[in-house]
Structure 1
Amino acid sequence: MEYIKDTPKLFFTEECISQYFSNFNFLHFRCFKETLSKSLGVGIIGGSLIVKVPQVVKIYKNKSSDGINITSVLLDLFSITAMASYSFTSGFPFSSWGDTVFLGIQTLAIAILCMHYSGDTTKATSFLVGYLVVISSIFAGLAPLNLLWALQTLNIPIVLISKLFQAHTNYKNGSTGQLSAVTVLMLFFGSLARIFTSIQETGDASMIIMFICSTTANAVIAGQLLYYWNREEAKSSNNDNKKKK
C-alpha cells in the first residue's frame, strides 16, 4: 500500500503535488519543468529495460560479434558503471540515473557475448566475476566519493573515445555490422533527454557535459547507421535491377 501511495512522487515533487492537486495551479512553471524532467526520467528508465536487448539478441542469434568494437563496449561499460556509482553515492534522485543500472547489465551481457563468440570464453567468465566483485564493493560503500567523482569526470573523454572507436570500425568496414538500429536510435534520444533531466534534477556539471558529449557521439553513430543503411539499400536495388536485365 505504501508503494501505491508513493507512486505520484515518481512524477511530482511534494511542492508540485500541492500546487496541482490542492491549489489546482496547473500553470506553475517550475513544477512544469520538474514534472517534465521526472516523467522523462521514468520514461528513460522504462526504455532502458530493453534498449540494448535488440543488440544482445542480434549477437546471440547470429553467434557473431562482427562489427562490434569490444574496446568501445568495455569503455562504455566503464562509463555507465562510473556514472551509476557516483550518482548512487551522491544521493541523486533515482529518476536521474536509474537507467544506468539496466544499461550496465545489458552492456555487460554484450561484452561477455563478444568475448565468448571471439573464442575467449575463459576471459569472458573471469571478466564477469571480476566486474561483479568490483560493483558489489562500490555499492557496499567501500569506494570514497572523491574517487567516484574522479572516475565520473573521466567519463567525458571516455564516452567520446568509446564512440569514436565504434565509428572508426564502422568506417573501416563500410557498414555497421551487427549494430542494432533500434538500440543506436534509442541511445541517441535517451542521452538527448538526459541533458535536460541532469540540468533539472542534479545540476552536476560533469554529468551535464558528459551527456552532451554522449549525445554528440551517439548522433555520429546514428548518422553512420542511416548512411550505410541507405547505401546497402541502393546496392541491393541495383543488384535486383541487374538480375532482371
Structure 2
Amino acid sequence: MTEEHSLRRLLSFIVPDPCYERFFVRFDLLHGPCLKILLSKCLGLGIIAGSVMVKVPQIVKIVKARSAVGISFNAIISELVAIAGTIAYSVVNKFPFSAWGEAFFLLMQTLIIGFFTQHYGGKTAKGMIFVVLYLAVLQLLLSPITPLGVITFLQALNMPAVISSKLLQAGTIYRTGHTGELSAITMILVFAGSLARIFTSLQETGDGLLVLTFVVASSCNGILVLQLLYYWNVHPAVKKKK
C-alpha cells in the first residue's frame, strides 16, 4: 500500500475522492463545493466531539447541589423523544455519522439528567423504570420490525417535541424566577451546536425535514439563552427571600 493510498484512506471520512483530487492532486485549494464539504465535515465532527461533554457541566452541577431544582422533567421527556426520532430517522436513511452522531451522546447525558431529576426528587425507582423503558423503546425503533412510515412520522413529531421541551423549560424558569441548577455552559453549547447543525444538515443530507428541525431547535434554544442572560444574577435563595 503506497503512502498516497494510505493518506487517501485516512482522509476519506472528511474528504471524498473528487475533493481529494482537487486538493492534493490539482492543488485547487479554493474550490468552493469541496471547501463547503470540508467545512461541513469538520463542523460535524467538532459538534460530535463537543457533544461528548456538552451536558457534563449540567450533570456535575446537579450532583454537587444534590438537587435538580429548575429542571423540568417533562421537558426532558420531550427532548428525549426528539433525540430518539433524530437517531432512528438518520440511521434508517443511512445519513453519515458526522451528520447526526452528537444525538447519541446527547441522548445518554440527557437520560442521566432525567434520572437525576427523579432521584433527587425522592423517586429513584421511578427514575430507573423511566431509563429502562426509554432504552427498550429506542431499541425497538432501531430494529427492522419498525416500519419506515413510523420512523418518518416520529421525525415529523420532532418539531412539536422540541418546541414543547424548550417551552416547558422556559415556563419553569419563568415561574421560579431563576435558572436554578441549569448550567450556563451547557445551554450555550447546545444553542451553538444546533445553529451549526443547520449548515451541516443542508450540506450533508439535504433533508428538508431534518434542516427544519434544527432551525426550530435553534430558535427555541435561543429563548433559553436569553432567559439565562436575563436571570444571570438571580439565585434561588435570593428569589425565595424576595
Normalization by structure 1: what TM-score? 0.90
Of 195, 206, 212, 1:209 maps to 212
Match of 1:116 in 2: 119
Q: What is the distance in 2 between the residues matched to 1:225 and 1:87?
A: 31
Residue 62 of structure 2 corresponds to residue 87 of structure 1: no
Q: 2:8–2:20: 8 Å Cα contact kept in structure 1? A: no
Of 146, 152, 156, 2:149 maps to 146
Of 12, 15, 19, 1:12 maps to 15
* Structure 2 unaligned regions, length at least 5: none
Cα RMSD of the aligned pairs, angstroms, is 2.0
Q: 1:191–1:211: 8 Å Cα contact kept in structure 2? A: yes
Paired residues in the alignment total 234
CA deviation string 1:84-117 (max 9, x = no partner): 1110111001100000000000000010111111
Q: CA deviation at 1:45?
A: 0.2
Q: What is the distance in 2 between the residues matched to 1:60 and 1:141?
A: 38
More helix per residue: 1 or 2?
Answer: 1
Match of 1:57 in 2: 60
CA deviation string 1:44-95 (max 9, x = no partner): 0000000011111111121111000110011001101110111011100110
Residue 36 of structure 2 corresponds to residue 33 of structure 1: yes
Match of 1:195 in 2: 198
Match of 1:126 in 2: 129
Residue 103 of structure 2 corresponds to residue 100 of structure 1: yes
CA deviation string 1:116-148 (max 9, x = no partner): 111111111111111222222223333222111
Q: CA deviation at 1:10?
A: 2.8
Match of 1:74 in 2: 77
Stretch of structure 1 that moved more, 85-94 or 127-136: 127-136
Q: What is the distance in 2 between the residues matched to 1:3 and 1:47?
A: 28
**Percent of residue pairs bearing the same amino acid type:** 44
CA deviation string 1:193-241 (max 9, x = no partner): 0000011111111111110010000011001111111456xx8xxxxxx
Q: What is the distance in 1 between the residues matched to 2:139 and 2:169?
A: 29
Q: 1:90–1:145: 8 Å Cα contact kept in structure 2? A: no
